[in-house]
Amino acid sequence: MRKQDMNRDWIATARTLSEALPYLQRYAGSIVVVKFGGNAMGDDEAMADFARDIVLMRQVGVNPVVVHGGGPMINEMLDKLGIESEFVRGKRVTDKKTVEVVEMVLTGLVNKRIVQAIMDEGGRAVGLSGKDDDLMVCVADDPELGFVGKPVEMNVQVLHDLFAAGIIPVIAPVATGMNENETFNVNGDTAAGAIAGALKADRLLLLTNITGVKNKDGEVITQMTPTEVRDMIADGTIAGGMIPKTETALQAVEEGVRGVVILDGRVANACLLELFTEHGAGSMIRSTEPSVKPRGA
């Protein structure tokens, strides 16, 4: 690179930092819940990039909460252990043996991998599951599907305690039930939504493997109201895995989360792009809150 070009590069970097000021001011002290899906996780480099974004958020005064998934890692371990699952209406039944593996993989392997990545980037992270301090208490979502939990009671004081200590909570979507020694697996989106709702978070970022919610023509919609989302679910424009995701978004907004963004976690610095630049990223679902930034420019 020629010296002159290099200078231009640094000037652009300085400008980017300067332009981030209103966003840094807006988000200082806010709570941002980030769902990091098993499919968005990728390789070590992607994990380190994600961890860096989270540490940067904390560094500039945001209180980030990471809620993770781990579907692919659970399936791999079930295969290794030769545990075969029963399916009802195309959905896996989470029996006692399966939920043991789920808890092992999510609270053990996946949770600690993320905690370690954040520590490696110079942040402070503590891993917990819904069981810790009764953070998330569930009942069976559909008894036919076994131990798949629907959150019914949230106790988020422990998260506020961690925020006050400057610690980033990393949460595995495994929860306690109403009966003694009961364990539930909770869908990662659902868990993130329930936690964001209970915290009345400023933002819930659902990182996935698509650029956003698309309309019939396949274009990403940058802004949606809850009514528009309901219409798109009703007419089939939103389908498959996007249904539980958008339904989570609707419920979170109803519970007081100011905005939910569905965005591509495979893009480098996805969280920073959304929070701290004029560009934004993905699809934002919220009621009618005025914004400091015009979206989708």
Least spacing, CB of residue 215 vs ligand ADP, in Å: 7
Of 37 and 123, the one with the shorter C-beta distance to ligand ADP is 37
Of 64 and 173, the one with the shorter C-beta distance to Mg ion is 173
Sites for ligand ADP among residues 184-223 (CB under 6 A): 189, 208-210, 213-214
Q: Which stretch binds Mg ion (CB under 5 A): 22-30, 92-100, 235-243, 251-259?
A: 235-243
- CB-based contact 62:28 (threshold 8 Å): yes
Q: Which residues contact 55 (CB under 8 A, 6 or more apart)?
A: 118, 121, 122, 123, 168
CA atoms of 102 and 78, how far apart (whole Å): 9
The DSSP bridge pattern shows strands 174-177 and 87-88 to be unpaired
Is 239 a binding residue for ligand ADP by CB under 6 A? The answer is yes
- CB-based contact 135:155 (threshold 8 Å): yes
Of 64 and 188, the one with the shorter C-beta distance to ligand ADP is 188
Least spacing, CB of residue 14 vs Mg ion, in Å: 39
Q: Is 124 a known ligand-binding residue?
A: no
Least spacing, CB of residue 210 vs ligand ADP, in Å: 4
Q: Could you say which of 100, 241, 255, 269 contacts Mg ion (CB under 5 A)?
A: 241
CA atoms of 226 and 42, how far apart (whole Å): 31
CA atoms of 282 and 170, how far apart (whole Å): 23
Of 60 and 109, the one with the shorter C-beta distance to ligand ADP is 109
**Which residue has its beta carbon closest to ligand ADP?**
241
Tokens of 274: 């959304």
Q: Could you say which of 241, 247, 258, 295 contacts ligand ADP (CB under 6 A)?
A: 241
The closest of 125, 107, 106, 123 to 115, measured between CA atoms, is 125
**Order of strands, edge to edge, in the sheet holding 136-140?**
149-154, 136-140, 174-177, 183-185
Site string for Mg ion, 186-225 (x = CB under 5 A): ----------------------------------------
Q: Is 266 a known ligand-binding residue?
A: no
- CB-based contact 33:1 (threshold 8 Å): no
How many residues line the site for ligand ADP (CB under 6 A)?
A: 16
Q: Which stretch binds Mg ion (CB under 5 A): 150-158, 219-227, 234-242, 274-282?
A: 234-242
Least spacing, CB of residue 191 vs ligand ADP, in Å: 12
Least spacing, CB of residue 206 vs ligand ADP, in Å: 7
How would DSSP label each residue in 10-64? HHHHHHHHHHTHHHHHHHTT-EEEEEE-TTT--SHHHHHHHHHHHHHHHHTT-EE
Is 237 a binding residue for ligand ADP by CB under 6 A? The answer is yes
Binding-site residue set: 70-71, 92, 185
Q: Which residues bind ligand ADP (CB under 6 A)?
A: 37, 39-40, 189, 208-210, 213-214, 237-242, 245
